[in-house]
Structure 1
């Protein structure tokens, strides 16, 4: 034992030259007599101070020397200054032989701390314990409470001295059968070190619960108690029939402690996810259905379990067709305030969007308007939002992976499609009747036309311009793209629209976005100046007839270009870029059900591309438009719902139109000259037949859910986005509003605040990042929450976000605090300050 201590002393201190051992009692005499250590000179004192001093200063100056003395240490006798080798002793080290003394010396602790070290020296000798406790093994930091926490932290294999909240939460994870070995080890360690009482006292402090025997079953009980109080934290009085009311904690200070424990546990990198899983497993015996039966759907639950979330969704959703707006608001409140699983979140979003769509449809007082322009204005301002809500609802429906018991998803899906189909049918039937009154003659409609696009927007352009034509980019989807583009505070983008021709098909739309100088239909082989309008190279040739050095290119070709080459390409005065994601997916029967996925993909792709055009390729002006829109209905169109083809398609036909050299008089639908809606010079030689409203013709081998070619508003109103770049920021940031400001209070250590982004991100309102926290004066006393306000949705419910702030234990006694909200780019001055009363601790006067 002595030899190892000597060797360790020299190993840990390479500068050490002389190691002194004073052994008045002779406890180490026999061992010292037989010492033989490689590289270390062993010298026993033989009343030879002069000899030793001389040798240590000369011959042994470069050796490591161990010196054994058979009298007491001069440190203990008080004759320190009389010791002949004092200078050498001071420059080197005295070997401490008892463990406590050695520990004190190793960690430079005070001698007054020896009793504390002695109490726990058995554990402190382990390197693993020392590693955990090292930050507190300092003379100014070591106290018994900290050391006890450090030891239990080490027993629990935490990587540092942790708070009691973390220590207890990690302990609770040992309550399950598979953790029996770890639990027994912890209990043995606590018992051996007389820490069981400390552990039990802390459990009682946090949970108000003590037990004669702390076993694994008791830990599960504490987890159940924690989960129950999470659920019922805002319910003041327990129902008399509540079978779990024995778990209720009424003491507000204990509730504060528990929620502090939950916060620290869930945020802890070692245990966060496992703690939540343990709470969920233990809380599975608390039946959410029973709680909702007793406390009702409208109660303010602090936490809702998946079981409860499905029940609330079913109960609240029952009124969606009768009270869609209120239903959507209630569901949005739940989804905003509670953490839902991905599938549950999508189920809530599905019903929220369904409710919003129904409300938007219900707000239409009359489908019969006076003029065609009125229909176009109604669609571009309001009715197109119905298409967006339907699209979002379908996307959420597709993402629901599991369904809770009692939730009739099919019934809601049928309702969604029925109401949407009814809207499509009524609005487009009246729109087409209005067009018929004008004989479909676009010259009698004051709205901008697709065939005037080049003449009015491109021909006289004074800066280099890129036109991105995204096949089948519908107007409602382009409004979402506009929001994505508005996220750039140096981008100015404006949304306009134009009326595409009928039939709303790619070949005609693409031809009319080019210069319409000398446009001929030629039995479907459309030409301009004698050049076919099909194919990128032909379109480039047509553009060059009007503007020299113009370029036409497929988007897919640009994707693979090196930046240097792309920059050269976009130096051209006009570049037409042809983008095809939506139509290439939707216009094929096997893939038409993925239409809305393709819309999402196209929007993200276009948003990044426009940004890149401005930032990387230095393009000043970018237009985004489309050849046509589309109709999509997610319910499969039955054969009985399709019309028989009128047989008027000897030149061209599809499921929404026919083109013939002869006029027909269909019993249903409309027939008019191709020249009425186009700039085709020979258009009066051809006749277009389309069905009523949104009807489809029976057509083999094609899809019928995604369609275009007819005269529906969704097919004809195309977007025209004009985006240009400024050198400096061009708009203010959106404004956040705390919607529940009058109800703000801290209950059970928690503050919940709801933030509304007042306006959508737009040309004049840019996105904003927020940092939110609770403060006492200028000191942060809670966690910080980060919010990004970047929604471009027209729906206010899409622009609401929840913040949950948990008060630090150091501030639970403060009666008045401040909620402060900062712009993340400017932390000096808050943009919102609200006084908040802390009701966590309520003092009574009697």
Structure 2
């Protein structure tokens, strides 16, 4: 019993015991409601005497013979006996009786109108425990009615912090299962079950002669589906649809958007879908009618299957409700089940772009080839990379195998075969060496004349398109300014020669036994490379990325102290790709390389105030998922004593044969080397024993020979950034429909200083009660044109009576920090809300 009630009882009793005459007060506590509290009463002028059913004679003797001066509260935790059985009846005649029923005290203490005392009395059993009663008090109800009292009682049993029927239903649905629900069992125990189902009817329009939790959940999900389906419900579902759709939509939106309860929402969704046999029921409807609906995960599976069918038919122009496949993938990824099917949608989007290249064409000249590759063709390699990145993330790839086969066929035969053949037809021309800056001139072009300290990060096998991904990541970093260029690697495009070409040198040569020398010195390991570098600048160092990654700040500072040039060697991609048992992980390695280099740049900027970086690579690579067939291998071509690799052969004479091209080493190295490097003019390989077959490099192709050069400047310390804002475009002052659509605009495009975020947008009362569904909008548009940043949201309002004299508000909260960023007041003038007031 709350302390305030006990104080009332104490005060009342102490008032009885005032005065100079001796008094006896009998208190028959019929239901023993105060048996635990009576000894805690602080009586100032009386003692408590415990009456038992079998000690009445002794009590009479004690009160009238043994102690005739002390005031006593005679407490009996049982009903008052009938007169003929009550041996204290005559004593009671000249004494007083005290009455303190719990319902009266609670009503008085809480300020509940006397007319609602029967409601408290009806549920008096609930107040039999202190902890339950205290939880009821803690809810701090201001306006007591039958509904608010019953909702508060249920809320106390559910242990919610506020008295809210929605929270009650949420706890019922999320804290236990459909059958033998322990919360409903508590409701029944304390006579609240009938009230629960009545409120379900009032709030959600669910009514049933024999209500069950299962049918309530079905009603919620079916009603939600009806609102977002662009077609009529299946006939067998119609009986479950509720007329209180606004309340239901608001409730389920809140449940599915909650970080705490979205998993339970998904379980309930699967449960309902299975019970309704939704897969069969919705199959009869066109996918187009389900595009806005995200009640069930199976809808996403249906849309994914539709997209798959269109892509397998190479129907890239297919649309649903005017939305392209690309847009469908992007929009569905932002909806509720988008997180679960994120990889599938991204895979399909990348497949869409690749299938668009089914009729790929490229220029004949090398300048045109290079320009087109840098402007657009690199995207084909990027989409291919991310297609397999997503594909390999899937637990079950069986459904996507046919699409994978199509993608592999298009990439290999329609794209890679064409671009490599044309590249090599143009590459053997003399002017090829003037189209791009040469890798062998890297030091003189980018490093030699730098006046400030420069950190050179060489990522083994980071091809141009992966470098462009890194460039995009740096563009979003407010502390980075990055410029992307490209250069032409050496040929053969393999590590030892590429790494040597990136060092300062006067002479770069390949000996007759195929060792690589820089100014006559070998440079195969880290110390040898550092020796070459220090020969041109004594204040220089070479270090492995793996070593610096594990260093503490002070150790890194020691490495950089007094240095003008630091070469950092990063080997994530080539290390994975060159090993047969991990070559299919090369696209994961590309993503990890981008992350590691970006993190390294941020770390060095903070730890040693390094602000100038050059990121480049020794070579690129070609990767194809399908294992090479014998027809893809060029056999019986090597000569004794030649330097043989899958993608190149260096020998004294040019190799002859179909599908083979060659150039002189003197041309590639800028010396008088008489040797010749021969290479497949397509993406095929020379037949060589051992090693992997999916990942190759060393030959002549844009993927292997166009390498990125990123010139990066960073700023140490804080740079002001801001979160992108949204504004209401629709000029709305009054809401007159339970369903309302409003237009908003993302104020500016996302950039390095304007960061994207997600907003929760909904309507509330002046008391912060939510009255609409909750829309989640991901503000991530980079479009410059304002019109392309306008978005439309649909709001479903709770079906209830709204007060025209009060203000209501449209609000938006930043999901990342839960800060309110928008508040717009409106009048609610909905004529038909709450069913004309007749509750029909």
Query: TM-score, with normalisation over the residues of structure 1?
Result: 0.78
2:109 and 2:402 map into 1 onto residues whose CA distance is: 74
Change (3 A) 1:803 1:628: farther
- For 1:269-289, what per-residue CA distance to the aligned partner results, in whole angstroms no more than 9, with x for missing partners? 876543542342133133344
Q: CA RMSD in A?
A: 4.8
- Structure 1 window deviating more from structure 2 (544-553 vs 145-154): it is 145-154
Match of 1:261? 251
Offset at 1:20?
A: 2.2
Match of 1:501? 490
- Structure 1 window deviating more from structure 2 (474-483 vs 100-109): it is 100-109
3-state secondary structure, aligned to 1:281? helix
Change (3 A) 1:728 1:560: closer
Answer yes or no: is 1:145 the counterpart of 2:155: no
Match of 1:482? 471
Match of 1:246? 239
3-state secondary structure, aligned to 2:403? helix
Q: In structure 1, which of residues 291, 297, 306 is the aligned counterpart of residue 297 of structure 2?
A: 306
Alignment of structure 1 residues 745-824 onto 2, 5 Å: 761=751, 766-769=754-757, 771=759, 773-774=761-762
Offset at 1:648?
A: 4.1
Offset at 1:344?
A: 3.2
Q: Is the 8 A contact 2:665 2:677 kept in 1?
A: yes
1:115 and 1:778 map into 2 onto residues whose CA distance is: 31
Offset at 1:607?
A: 1.1
- For 1:536-593, what per-residue CA distance to the aligned partner results, in whole angstroms no more than 9, with x for missing partners? 1111111112122111111111112220121232241100000001000001111101
Match of 1:323? 315
Match of 2:700? 711
Change (3 A) 1:11 1:838: closer
Match of 2:57? none
Q: In structure 1, which of residues 514, 519, 542 is the aligned counterpart of residue 532 of structure 2?
A: 542
- For 1:43-77, what per-residue CA distance to the aligned partner results, in whole angstroms no more than 9, with x for missing partners? 559xxxxxxxxxxxxxxxxxxx996489xxxxxxx
Q: Is the 8 A contact 1:769 1:786 kept in 2?
A: no
Answer yes or no: is 1:492 the counterpart of 2:481: yes
2:829 and 2:326 map into 1 onto residues whose CA distance is: 28
Offset at 1:359?
A: 2.0
Change (3 A) 1:803 1:557: farther
1:452 and 1:567 map into 2 onto residues whose CA distance is: 30
3-state secondary structure, aligned to 2:336? coil
Change (3 A) 1:568 1:733: same
Offset at 1:245?
A: 2.5
Q: In structure 1, which of residues 107, 122, 127 is the aligned counterpart of residue 125 of structure 2?
A: 122
- For 1:245-294, what per-residue CA distance to the aligned partner results, in whole angstroms no more than 9, with x for missing partners? 22233x3xx00111122234446787654354234213313334444444
1:670 and 1:486 map into 2 onto residues whose CA distance is: 39
Match of 1:27? 26
Alignment of structure 1 residues 423-442 onto 2, 5 Å: 423-438=415-430, 442=432
Match of 1:131? 134
Q: Is the 8 A contact 2:438 2:487 kept in 1?
A: yes
Answer yes or no: is 1:659 the counterpart of 2:654: no
1:756 and 1:294 map into 2 onto residues whose CA distance is: 38
Unaligned segments of structure 2, at least 5 residues:
18-22, 33-37, 48-68, 75-96, 319-323
Offset at 1:325?
A: 5.5
Offset at 1:840?
A: 12
3-state secondary structure, aligned to 1:451? helix
How many aligned residue pairs are there?
761
Alignment of structure 1 residues 609-758 onto 2, 5 Å: 609-648=600-639, 650-679=641-670, 681-682=671-672, 684-726=673-715
Match of 1:473? 462
Answer yes or no: is 1:575 the counterpart of 2:570: no
Alignment of structure 1 residues 123-202 onto 2, 5 Å: 123-136=126-139, 140-155=142-157, 157-171=158-172, 178-179=179-180, 183-190=184-191, 195-202=192-199
Q: Is the 8 A contact 2:730 2:742 kept in 1?
A: no
Q: Is the 8 A contact 1:488 1:766 kept in 2?
A: no
Offset at 1:759?
A: 6.3
Change (3 A) 1:742 1:318: farther
2:759 and 2:251 map into 1 onto residues whose CA distance is: 23
- For 1:188-239, what per-residue CA distance to the aligned partner results, in whole angstroms no more than 9, with x for missing partners? 422xxxx45533332222343422333xxx3212212222222231346626
Q: Is the 8 A contact 1:22 1:68 kept in 2?
A: no
Q: Is the 8 A contact 2:724 2:755 kept in 1?
A: no
Answer yes or no: is 1:285 the counterpart of 2:275: yes
- Structure 1 window deviating more from structure 2 (745-754 vs 176-185): it is 745-754
Change (3 A) 1:338 1:752: farther
Match of 2:586? 595
Match of 1:83? none
3-state secondary structure, aligned to 2:198? helix
Q: In structure 2, which of residues 450, 457, 479 is the aligned counterpart of residue 461 of structure 1?
A: 450
1:777 and 1:257 map into 2 onto residues whose CA distance is: 14
1:437 and 1:811 map into 2 onto residues whose CA distance is: 81
Answer yes or no: is 1:518 the counterpart of 2:520: no
Query: TM-score, with normalisation over the residues of structure 2?
Result: 0.78
2:731 and 2:675 map into 1 onto residues whose CA distance is: 67
Q: Is the 8 A contact 2:530 2:541 kept in 1?
A: yes
Offset at 1:640?
A: 3.3
Q: Is the 8 A contact 1:447 1:499 kept in 2?
A: yes
Q: In structure 1, which of residues 363, 367, 378 is the aligned counterpart of residue 362 of structure 2?
A: 367
Offset at 1:459?
A: 0.4
Answer yes or no: is 1:561 the counterpart of 2:551: yes
2:260 and 2:164 map into 1 onto residues whose CA distance is: 14
Q: Is the 8 A contact 2:250 2:774 kept in 1?
A: no
Answer yes or no: is 1:608 the counterpart of 2:603: no
Q: Is the 8 A contact 1:166 1:261 kept in 2?
A: no
- For 1:325-357, what per-residue CA distance to the aligned partner results, in whole angstroms no more than 9, with x for missing partners? 645335415523532376633222212110012
Answer yes or no: is 1:350 the counterpart of 2:347: yes
Offset at 1:172?
A: 5.2
3-state secondary structure, aligned to 1:556? helix
Match of 1:77? none
Offset at 1:746?
A: 11
Q: Is the 8 A contact 2:139 2:163 kept in 1?
A: no
Offset at 1:659?
A: 0.8
Answer yes or no: is 1:230 the counterpart of 2:232: no
1:779 and 1:37 map into 2 onto residues whose CA distance is: 42
3-state secondary structure, aligned to 1:534? coil
Q: Is the 8 A contact 1:19 1:67 kept in 2?
A: no
Q: Is the 8 A contact 2:643 2:650 kept in 1?
A: yes
3-state secondary structure, aligned to 1:260? helix
Q: Is the 8 A contact 1:757 1:789 kept in 2?
A: no
